[in-house]
Each structure stands twice: as C-alpha cells, then as structure tokens.
Amino acid sequence: KTNLTDLVDGGLLIVDTNEFKQINLRKAGYSENPLEDGSLSAYQLVSVSITENNERALEGLELNAKERFLSRNFYALGLVLWLFNRPLATVERWATDKFSRNPVVLEANLRALRAGNAFAETTELFHQRYEVAPAEVAPGTYRHISGNEATALGLVAASQLADIPIFYASYPITPASDVLHELAKHRNFGVKTMQAEDEMAAVCAALGSSYAGSLGITGTSGPGLALKSEAINLAIMTELPLVVLDIQRAGPSTGMPTKTEQSDLLQAMYGRNGDSSVIIVAPATPGECFEMAIEAVRLALAYMTPVIYLSDGYLANGSSPWLIPSISNFPPISNHYQEV
C-alpha cells in the first residue's frame, strides 16, 4: 500500500496472496480485500502464493522463522529474473559470497531463488518477458565520487578555468561540512578556506573576498541559507559574484541533519526582501555535482551576481561511478575583474 502510488496505470504488480489475511488487511488500513474489490484493476495484477511455495522449497532445512521469512525475497527475485530474462548465475555468485559464513541460509536463499524462477517458467506466469539492453558506458577512467567531493573538485576546477583564486568560508553544518574539509586539501591550487563563527560571518567573509578580487563561496544547509539572506541581497545590490552552496537537509527550523529533503527551492527563489532574484543551479547525480559547480562559478562571474547551488544530503553523501573528465573539455571561464 505504501508504494502503490509509485506504480503507473498499467504497471505490473506482483502480490503474495498468502499475506492478504484479515489481520494484515486491518494493519494496512484496508476494510476490504483489494484483490477482490476491484481497486487494483488499473494494474496488471499477478497473484502468486509466494510464502506457501517458498515454504515447500525450504523443506528439510533447519531455519528459524525470521530466516524463512526473509528468504521469500529471493523467491520473488527469481520471478523477476525470469520476467527480465536475466540469468541466475550473477545472483548466485553474489549470494554465495554474501552468506558464505552461514551455509544453511545460503542454501535456503538459493533454493528460494531457483524455485521462484522455475515457477515463473513452468506456469507461464507472465504474458510477456522483457530484455534490458546493457548500459552504454563511455570509455575512460572511472572512480567513485560523492556529491560533496565532486562539488569541491568542481569549484577547484572552475578556479583554474577562470584563473581566479577562490575563498571558501562556512560554518560547520551537516550535510555541507565535507565541502569545507575537501577544499582545505587543495591549497596548492590557491584555495583559501575559513571556518567562521556563524553563518552570517561566513557569507560576509566570502562577499568581502569577492570585493577584493577573489571569488567568494560559502556553504550551508537550509537554516543557514535563511541567515545568509541579507548578505546575499547585498551581493545582488553591489553586483558582486557569490556562490552559495545549499546542501539541503529535511524539515523546518534547524531541521534534521541526517535526513535528506529537497525543500529549499522556494526559499532559494524568493527568500529575500525586495523580491530580489538569484540564479539557481541543481545537480541530479553525485557525478553531476562537478559540472554544476563549474556552471555556478561561470554564471556568477558572467553576470556578477549570486548563484545558489542546490544539492541535498542524498547527493552529498551518496556516491556514483564518475568518468574523470579532461579539463580541456571545459572552455575557459571569463571574469570581469581587472588589475589596476
């Protein structure tokens, strides 16, 4: 019931009919059985006695109730692997490595996996099967990178592309603090960092560095963005470049530091007096944080205005494979500073 809203009309819904008992229906808030009242008619419904079939597959194994319960996941996985025409060997290798210290659980999971796959094949459970082509992977050198690390490296790269030193000032706040830690490692590229005593001091220090000829950057999360609003307005009024990183957290007021949410967009757009506007950029993946950081710097220098960079805790702390780019792939960034 929790995830049903994520399924589009006509989507495939596989249900374990053994779990649709009256007690479970009451716990889920159903007054009627959805398998019988037509409420699931918008979906392709596939009903399977997963629990019962799985129990038969596990006969003879000494397992506790929890181990039997969890092995149903492998039975369902076997069904899905048949649906998408995928071999069992990959999952079998993974399971063998994962459960090598518990051979009974390993045997149970492998039995369940193979039983689910065999059931789908012998009963012709699905009207059609699908094949997903391999993803196209561009050649090159890859590494895993987190969003915050990619953001910091993007800022360093932008500094080199614009031939301008960057000054990063921030007050420690989760989940933005790692950007300060990463940037502090790159003093050899002319990066200067400062841990300020509060959010207002951090943004004002960054703005002062822009006035002095560097590129001022500051980082924060939701509540800190609210505190920085007056200084951001000053940057707008004085036409100074400023990049503000908002690594979003969940909730109002001080929020929840370890929970992720994308709920600062309206604050970034309208959270200043005078209806003053700023440019906003937002990455979609941890790897894209690199390109978006460069774009934020380019826009700030091109239009001499603040740019708010919206990331979030999920991107900041999550990681993804990243194709390490060549700096020659990025055009130089022009800036309006002149030496007098």
Q: Domain for residue 130, yes or no?
A: no
Same-domain check for residues 245 and 272: yes
Q: What is the pLDDT of residue 339?
A: 59
Determine the distance from the C-alpha atom of residue 267 to the mean position of all C-alpha atoms in its chain, rounded to a whole number. 21
Q: What is the pLDDT of residue 31?
A: 87
Give the pLDDT confidence of 124-133 residue by residue, as tens digits. Answer: 889 889 998 8
Cβ distance 158 to 298 under 8 Å? yes
Q: Domain for residue 135, yes or no?
A: no
Angle at 117 between CA 112 and CA 121, to 5 degrees: 145
Q: What b-and-e string marks burial along 159-172, b requiring 16 or more CB atoms within 10 Å of the CB?
A: bebbebebbbbbbe
Can you tell me the distance from the alpha carbon of 103 to that of 93, in angstroms, rounded to the nearest whole number? 14
Same-domain check for residues 190 and 220: yes
Phi and psi, residue 220, nearest 5°: -165, -170
**In what helix (H) or strand (E) does residue 308 lie, and over which residues does it extend?**
strand 306-312
- Give the three-class secondary structure for 280: strand
Domain boundary among 96, 123, 150: 123
Q: Domain for residue 17, yes or no?
A: yes
Is residue 175 reached through a cis peptide bond, with omega within 30 degrees of 0 on the bond before it?
yes
Q: What is the pLDDT of residue 335?
A: 83
Domain boundary among 65, 90, 123: 123
Domain boundary among 123, 151, 185: 123
Q: Domain for residue 81, yes or no?
A: yes
Nearest Cα residue to 232 out of 247, 254, 248, 217: 217
Q: Give residue 209's domain range.
A: 142-327
Cβ distance 311 to 146 under 8 Å? no
CATH of the domain at 153: 3.40.50.970
Same-domain check for residues 179 and 58: no
Q: Domain for residue 36, yes or no?
A: yes
Same-domain check for residues 243 and 275: yes
Same-domain check for residues 165 and 312: yes
How many CA atoms, within 13 angstroms, populate the side-chain half-sphere of residue 304? 9
Cβ distance 168 to 192 under 8 Å? yes
Same-domain check for residues 227 and 282: yes
In terms of Cβ atoms closer than 10 Å to its own Cβ (0-12, 13-18, 19+), residue 73 is middle
Same-domain check for residues 319 and 279: yes
Q: What is the pLDDT of residue 338?
A: 62
Same-domain check for residues 311 and 270: yes
Q: Domain for residue 128, yes or no?
A: no
Low-confidence ranges of the chain (pLDDT < 70): 338-340
3-state helix, strand, coil in the chain (%, to 5): 45, 15, 35
**In what helix (H) or strand (E) does residue 210 lie, and over which residues does it extend?**
helix 199-211
Q: Domain for residue 114, yes or no?
A: yes
Cβ distance 231 to 259 under 8 Å? no
Domains identified in the chain, total number: 2
Calculate helix-pair angle for 65-83, 50-57, nearest 10 degrees.
110
Same-domain check for residues 67 and 156: no
Same-domain check for residues 172 and 210: yes
Can you tell me the distance from the alpha carbon of 20 to that of 39, in angstroms, rounded to the nearest whole number? 14
Q: What is the pLDDT of residue 28?
A: 86
Same-domain check for residues 103 and 218: no
Which residue spans within 79-196 are E strands per DSSP?
142-146, 166-170, 192-195
Q: Domain for residue 306, yes or no?
A: yes
Same-domain check for residues 151 and 264: yes
